[in-house]
Structure 1
Amino acid sequence: MFNSHRVSFHRAQWVGRSGWAAGIRCLLLLYLCALGTQALAVKPVVVAGDENGETIESNLELWHDLQGHKTLDDALTAFAAGEFSPLTTSNKSLGLKPGAFWGHLYLTNPAAQSRTLYLEYVDHQLANLQAYQRSPLSSEGLIGSPGSMAKIAEFDINGSFSDRAVSHHRFVFAVTLEPGQTTELLVRYGTGDRGFIYPSLRVWSAENLRMAQTAEVGLLAFLMGGIVIMAMVSLTVGLATGEALFFAYCLYALSKIAMWWTMAGFTHQFIIPEHFHWRYISFSGALVITTGIWFARLFLKTRTCIPRFDRLLLLMLWCACLLVLAAWAEQKAVAVILITVLLLMYPLVSIAGLMRWYQGAREAAVFALAWAFLVAGLLSQALRDLGYVEHTLSNYYWPAVGSYTEMVVILFAMGVNLYKLRDQKNAAELRYLTQLEHKKSELETLVKERTRDLEAAKSLAEVEASTDPLTGANNRRSFFRLGTQLLHRSQRHASAFSLLMFDIDHFKAINDNFGHSVGDDALRLFARTLMAEIRDIDIFGRLGGEEFALLFSGTDDASLKTAERLRETVSKLSIPVGGEEITFTASVGVAHFGKEATLEELFYKADAALYEAKQEGRNRVKSADDI
């Protein structure tokens, strides 16, 4: 039917021509009839002027050149012999095929004005593409011979981007049709050794193509910009904490940017317009896989927690290394197969995350969810490449969107992990302080059974060496050691503490009037009472004679209130002696930690405050700030 319309169209143009023109017309009609019924198998693409990326698989006939060495004349011969067949499938990949495919189609312009349309190859994996156009008939007569076809476009993934007539990150060529003109195209899709073929083309008007390209560049720039920000955040945290995990995430994110920018064709367009090579795509893919598996193994701790399953992840790393070698050796078929295998193995990382979650790592569940976003995108890409699902812009960019989502969720999982590490650090510090403040007997639970007796003897020796034998309080040496540690912690963390110095008032009179045994009872009662009134984190010790000291962790106001409370408690104490009760009081000097470099400096201030308290009548609290 289509050929009949073409014949009628040209017959109407040639009415009234001379005899020699009628002869040429007859030759042309004979040639068109010689094309056979194959030209009737598909309809022409009717140019409307507002094309918006519609695909033309229903208007296309295909012929497979298995070796990929056939010429244009070979393709024309095959077409004349009826070896081209209509493409009956939807916009899908033909799968991993060797050689090249030749596509044949017609374009017709029924309008009264000329129109230019743009044909775009739908994917980024094609090695090369050539387009040929048959010289058409016009109202003025024959332009060129009926069998002539001229090359109108030639693309190569390794070629210079500046050679492209249309500046676009994919293969795009223009066809101009005059009013009422119908033209015939042959398009060669070349894969090299072996590759995935999407035989369809998208048809665009100039304005719609420009808008679509702008939208694509904007989308990818948005996604890659977000990944850049996440990479910089991770790098900053890595520099602050020294954790290798954050550096691995940063490299993983940056490699993703390089891969998606290269796979989409923007690296060729904007970064390496000259001397680009297809192996850069394989290199970038291998880099993403390598850094991704490295990061996943660090995050999930697969090497120590699930060592058997970790071997599968190591296998993925080896496959990525083979991919680099295949790309370097320009073995495109091997590289394509390895990339496909690696994409199909990506769900293993999600399984590793679920296994770690089952072991109790909560952040691994978030990681598994994040990786699932990526796996869904890559699985759609693998199924699309193998021809099981239709090729659309949505599933073309689904892997990139899934990759972006994966990075966002993984960053959240790393935050969860960082929060967990912080809790572990705080818990470790608290355990360390508790071990210093509790009785040494608790250390028995941390040693092995065969050394229990030795550890018990060691603990007893440590207690005797660090405590005052009369009162049970820390002796002077132990008090200064613990106090110096508290001072250093306070200097590092800017925490507040105060030194309270106690002196039992008129203690010499107690010894002189009632004997040293009563004096010892007073010292023991005083120390036992204060140790019962203070907290475990406070440090209490006997400095010598009737002088005691307390290191109180807290605000200045709280330390003064504690000093007053303890002074009042001491004033209520009594010792029975010979049927009567004797009482005693204590004076307290308080010094708050400020910029002192040593504990001795703080002692000097507290001692001065204690002296003032005695001078003012004893049984009172005096702050060093008030003198």
Structure 2
Amino acid sequence: MDAVKKSPPRALLSIYGLLLLLLIMSSPITNANTIIADRFTDKLSITSSLELAADANRSILITDIDTPDSIVSFAPIAKTGSNLGFTSTPYWIRFTLHQNEKTPPLLLEFANPRIDNIELYLPQSDGSYHMSEAGESKPFVEREYQFRNFMFELPNHPGESRTYYLRMDSEGSIQVSLYLWSYDAFIQYLDNSNLLLGAYYGIMILLMMVAAAFYLKLRDPLFLTYSLYLLTYIIFQLSLNGLSYQYLWPELSEYSGRLTAASVGFVGIGGYLFAGGFLRIWQRHSVQLITIVAFLISLDSLGIVMSLFGDYALGVKLSTLAGLSLPPVILFAAISSWRSGYRPARYFLMAWIIFLFGIFIAGLLYFGLVPQTFLTLYSIQIGSIIEVILLGYALIDRAILRQAQKVKIGELKGESLEQKNLELEQLVQARTHELEENNIRLKKLSLQDSMTGLLTHNATIDLLEQQLHIAVRYIQPLSVIMLDIDDFKKVNDRFGHLAGDGVIINIAKILKACMREADYCGRYGGEEFILILPATDIWEAAVVAERIRQRVTELKLIDINNQPLSASFGVSEFNQESSEVDLILQADKALYRAKQKGKNCVVTDYKSSIEALTI
């Protein structure tokens, strides 16, 4: 009895062993990469379980792979990576799927709508393979399922493990992302995604139409540029999601890939043009930044031409390169404009940072570093919506500020003619009163240069300060011209100081003849003169300077044996947004550049004008 208690019966041990053997035999034999589906499978990402093989010679057939002695080497996708980039090499994908009992019918989704050719080899019960084709190079109506991504119906093989093969070939960038769906789960996903994408594109189209309406109302070109940028971005997003091929050009299978590549270039050009106008890159930034932006626009343009009419693969790469440069270049320009004191740039900077953050989250999701949630899955769409709303607000705020300035000078649209005339009359009276006061001050003081009859140096400086106050008060332009007689020292050395004084007196007469009644002219020092031109922008002042320059070159004086004379001119304009800038200093710098250019020319101040002008 004691022996029986110390050890279990042999019969019981035999039963345990038999049950364990049956359990092992009944379990499915699968390898480590086998994908297992059961009746609870709704959506399953299988990308991490894939194996890839490159077909560098384009010679591998399904019969070369599905044989026991196949020499084709597959590598786990963990080693190759799911982002294969731009490659002309076809790739084969292999995965093994085991379907448990009661597994529902399954769909396979290739979640990249920009692949040119896809061949899926479906294993049959007799060991053969049935090929199903798809790809962007084929008409959309020929797809097995009318969906933006490529969908395939998988055969049912409950209790079996079967190996699937997929061949993909594309001239564009290849990213591998495969999902298994049950029919019910896919229908629910389709309804939700269509609702969200419809809302997203609806908001974007509405903002585009609002921007176009503002352009028609205000005639501000920046609203038109913004509307066109939104249009290019919408088409770009539609192409990325596969919706452009589904709805815009479903019959153009031969050109679908080319049009998608061209959309990258168009959105790049639209982004650069809108950002350039909004941030005033062409007016306020360095020549280096302007050159970089112009180069990238040219690169986008070349990419568009190559994508549509030339080497498609090269065009895609050129447009993508320019597109990848867009975020950092525009971010740098926005920070520079904001730091320089341009107030609207802060809205642009905020919008751009939010958009880039959305792209960053999408990148983290792509590499599996964040979980797939609503916010991470649609981070780019959410970021872009917030971006365009902020940019639209910034444009409207800018338009309101401009309209407020027009109200002050009686130019607001919608005012009655009587109100405009009344305000204009008040402005004229106030201006006339201030001019009369200035004339009284001039009469009380001896402010004329004894030789030329022009204002003295100090009188010129004092009068310029008064005109600056008037320009600020009435939001009017004000320009300054500085001129210097070229090689005047040589005239004095050769013909004497009396002859030199004669040259100065005759040039002063030219200045007086070319002045308007409201203009002022002074002798700044020696052979230098300065003209103050109220209510005159830099371009009008440059024309006046050119007229004077021509008159000087036509001057003939017997005292200097009719030797040719010339003068160099520097022109600057008062900037309402940077009132602290010294107008004379800027004009003097422009004059210095005129001397460097070879003298006898007119140069404008590049910081006060749209761009430097040399006449």
Under TM normalisation by the shorter chain, which class is it?
Answer: 0.5 to 0.7
Cα deviation for residue 243 of structure 1 reads 1.1
Cα deviation for residue 383 of structure 1 reads 8.3
- 1:62-96 deviation per Cα after TM superposition (whole angstroms, max 9, x unaligned): 11112445322233369833611222369842343
CA distance in 2, matches of 1:54, 1:373: 31
CA distance in 2, matches of 1:330, 1:108: 46
- Contact 1:350–1:368 under 8 Å retained in 2: yes
Cα deviation for residue 155 of structure 1 reads 0.6
CA distance in 2, matches of 1:95, 1:457: 67
Cα deviation for residue 420 of structure 1 reads 2.1
- 1:570-610 deviation per Cα after TM superposition (whole angstroms, max 9, x unaligned): xxxxxxxxxxxxxxxxxxxxxxxxxxxxxxxxxxxxxxxxx
The answer for the alignment partner of 1:104 in structure 2 is 94
- Matched to 1:311, the amino acid is T
CA distance in 1, matches of 2:353, 2:59: 42
The answer for the alignment partner of 1:275 in structure 2 is 252
Cα deviation for residue 102 of structure 1 reads 0.9
The answer for the alignment partner of 1:251 in structure 2 is 228
- 1:519-548 deviation per Cα after TM superposition (whole angstroms, max 9, x unaligned): xxxxxxxxxxxxxxxxxxxxxxxxxxxxxx
The answer for the alignment partner of 1:201 in structure 2 is 178
The answer for the alignment partner of 1:312 in structure 2 is 292
- Matched to 1:158, the amino acid is S
The answer for the alignment partner of 2:212 in structure 1 is 235
- Matched to 2:174, the amino acid is F
- Contact 1:57–1:91 under 8 Å retained in 2: no
The 3 A distance-change label for structure 1 pair 397 and 337 is: farther
CA distance in 2, matches of 1:455, 1:331: 59
The 3 A distance-change label for structure 1 pair 391 and 133 is: farther
In the alignment, does 2:242 pair up with 1:265? yes
Instruction: Describe how 1:231-380 pairs up with structure 2 within 5 A.
Output: 231-276=208-253, 277-308=256-287, 309-329=289-309, 331-346=311-326, 347-378=328-359
CA distance in 2, matches of 1:77, 1:216: 41
The answer for the alignment partner of 1:569 in structure 2 is none
RMSD: 3.6
The 3 A distance-change label for structure 1 pair 97 and 376 is: farther
- Contact 2:124–2:155 under 8 Å retained in 1: no
The partner residue of 2:139 within 160, 163, 167 is 160
Cα deviation for residue 132 of structure 1 reads 0.5
The 3 A distance-change label for structure 1 pair 311 and 389 is: farther
> Secondary structure of 2:389's match?
helix
- Contact 2:262–2:316 under 8 Å retained in 1: no
- Contact 1:223–1:404 under 8 Å retained in 2: yes
- Contact 1:168–1:213 under 8 Å retained in 2: no
The answer for the alignment partner of 1:523 in structure 2 is none
The 3 A distance-change label for structure 1 pair 185 and 432 is: farther
- Contact 1:99–1:190 under 8 Å retained in 2: yes
- Contact 1:58–1:87 under 8 Å retained in 2: yes
- Contact 2:45–2:178 under 8 Å retained in 1: yes
The answer for the alignment partner of 1:86 in structure 2 is 76
The 3 A distance-change label for structure 1 pair 455 and 132 is: closer
> Unaligned 5+ residue runs, structure 2?
1-21, 411-422, 439-462, 468-477, 482-507, 519-615
- Matched to 1:299, the amino acid is F
CA distance in 2, matches of 1:155, 1:333: 20
In the alignment, does 2:37 pair up with 1:47? yes
CA distance in 2, matches of 1:423, 1:299: 19
- Contact 1:235–1:250 under 8 Å retained in 2: yes
What TM-score, normalized to structure 1? 0.59
CA distance in 2, matches of 1:456, 1:159: 73
Cα deviation for residue 285 of structure 1 reads 2.0
In the alignment, does 2:47 pair up with 1:57? yes
CA distance in 1, matches of 2:62, 2:370: 29
CA distance in 2, matches of 1:330, 1:203: 38
- Contact 2:108–2:178 under 8 Å retained in 1: yes
- Matched to 2:112, the amino acid is D
Higher RCO by CA contacts (8 Å cutoff, separation 6 or greater): 1
CA distance in 1, matches of 2:313, 2:514: 68
Cα deviation for residue 216 of structure 1 reads 2.0
> Unaligned 5+ residue runs, structure 1?
1-7, 13-38, 137-143, 460-627
CA distance in 1, matches of 2:400, 2:290: 26
CA distance in 2, matches of 1:269, 1:170: 10
CA distance in 2, matches of 1:442, 1:89: 85
> Secondary structure of 1:80's match?
coil
- Contact 2:84–2:173 under 8 Å retained in 1: no
- The structure number with the bigger radius of gyration is 1
> Secondary structure of 1:70's match?
coil
- 1:478-517 deviation per Cα after TM superposition (whole angstroms, max 9, x unaligned): xxxxxxxxxxxxxxxxxxxxxxxxxxxxxxxxxxxxxxxx
Cα deviation for residue 222 of structure 1 reads 1.1
Q: 359-368 or 341-350: which moved more? A: 341-350
The partner residue of 2:116 within 98, 114, 127 is 127
- Contact 1:68–1:98 under 8 Å retained in 2: no
The answer for the alignment partner of 2:106 in structure 1 is 117
CA distance in 1, matches of 2:362, 2:114: 12
> Secondary structure of 2:114's match?
coil
Q: What is the percent sequence identity of the aligned residues?
A: 20
> Secondary structure of 2:84's match?
coil
What TM-score, normalized to structure 2? 0.60
> Secondary structure of 2:88's match?
strand
The 3 A distance-change label for structure 1 pair 238 and 78 is: farther
- Matched to 1:189, the amino acid is M
- Matched to 1:352, the amino acid is A
> Secondary structure of 1:126's match?
coil
The answer for the alignment partner of 2:190 in structure 1 is 213
> Secondary structure of 1:88's match?
helix
The answer for the alignment partner of 1:553 in structure 2 is none
The partner residue of 1:436 within 426, 429, 437 is 429
